[in-house]
Amino acid sequence: MQTRWIGELEVSEVGLGCNNFGGRLDEAGTDAVVGAAIDAGVTFFDTADIYGGTRSEEFLGRVLGARRDEIVLATKFGMPIDDERVGAHPDYVKRACEDSLRRLQTDHIDLYQLHAPDPAVPIADTLGALHELQAEGKVREIGCSNLSAAQLEEASLRAGDLAPFRSVQNQYSLLWREPETDGVLDAAERLGLAFLPYYPLANGLLTGKITPGAPLPEGTRLAMMPPERSAHWLSDVFSARVRELLRFSEDRGIPMLSLAFSWLLAHEPVASVIAGASSPEQVRANAAAPVALDEFIFDELDELTGDD
């Protein structure tokens, strides 16, 4: 497994998204996936306090046990757990961190991320609280998620002598290329931020296991998703592009999974591609997916999936 950097953190270029833990997966299932990931060379684990209603952190903390120091552990705060536990006010940042440390059964979080911007709190105030957590040794590096290019610039400007964000985690895939058009990818490169794509497989559409127009395989994320949410991913636009990508994959003899991971990793700001897994087989397939894409293949994928 190749590695890249998030600030001073060395991470595997394929990361494990832990949003299935405590939801689709019980503790035994979590244990199986975590063990398979570590054995496959995955060292970057990304969770959040809201995943599984806080159970993702709880399960992860218990199953890691003595293997905690073998991984780079990332979590997030800020999205609502309930009416009181929400936002980015400095007092809550500190409480959220202590809660996550307890659930994760660790004395430090390697990458602590603001899950979403809080319009009610100046970003400098949030950065100040995160800086204090770093000074106390409870957090090694800090990052953010779902921020716009303008918000990233503002955070960089307001950081001053405070520790800056080292990463930004936004949605990005062959089917969702908004970071290229909204300026976030450029801002990440300009500001020296590692980019962490989430939904890199577009909720399973880029695994090669889903064929537009055919019944959804049982147990897949899309099959279990409420119709009002799955309708977005099963739209005519996405379906047409998935058909084209499936043909391209077959013609070039490159698995769809490899195309999805490798195309993202070919973008310089990308540090690790975070993909969830609900079985050891899935995590092993994800870990083995990256391949070197020649420039011709990369350009064809760009043309095939870019906006007209």
Evaluate whether residue 175 is within a structural domain: yes
Evaluate whether residue 186 is within a structural domain: yes
Evaluate whether residue 246 is within a structural domain: no
Q: How confident is the model at residue 219 (pLDDT cuts 50, 70, 90)?
A: low
Evaluate whether residue 22 is within a structural domain: yes
Q: Amino acid identity of 243?
A: R
Backbone angles phi, psi at 45, to 5 degrees: -115, 125
Percent of the chain at pLDDT > 70 equals 97
| Average confidence (pLDDT) over 239-251 | 93
Evaluate whether residue 273 is within a structural domain: yes
The 10s digit of each residue's pLDDT in 122-167 is 999 999 999 999 999 999 999 999 999 999 999 999 998 899 999 9
Helix (H, G, I), strand (E, B) or coil at 244: helix
- Over the chain, what is the mean pLDDT? 94
pLDDT at 223: 64
Evaluate whether residue 243 is within a structural domain: no
Structural domain boundaries, residue 66? 3-207+256-295
Q: How confident is the model at residue 212 (pLDDT cuts 50, 70, 90)?
A: confident
The 10s digit of each residue's pLDDT in 256-295 is 999 999 999 999 999 999 999 999 999 999 999 999 999 9
Quick one: tokens of 277? 């897994």
Evaluate whether residue 227 is within a structural domain: no
Assign residue 152 the CATH number of its domain.
Answer: 3.20.20.100
Judged against a pLDDT cut of 80, whether residue 225 lies above it is answered with no
* Number of domains forming the structure of the chain: 1
Cα–Cα distances in Å, from 217 out to 221, 238, 240, 283? 9, 17, 19, 18
Q: How confident is the model at residue 76 (pLDDT cuts 50, 70, 90)?
A: very high
**Cα gap 193→7, rounded to integer Å:** 8
Q: Is 51 a catalytic residue?
A: yes
More confident residue, 104 or 239: 104
Angle between the N-to-C axes of helices 123-135 and 90-104, in degrees from 0 to 180, rounded to the nearest 10: 40
Evaluate whether residue 230 is within a structural domain: no
| Closest to 111 in 3D by CA, of 90, 95, 126, 97 | 97
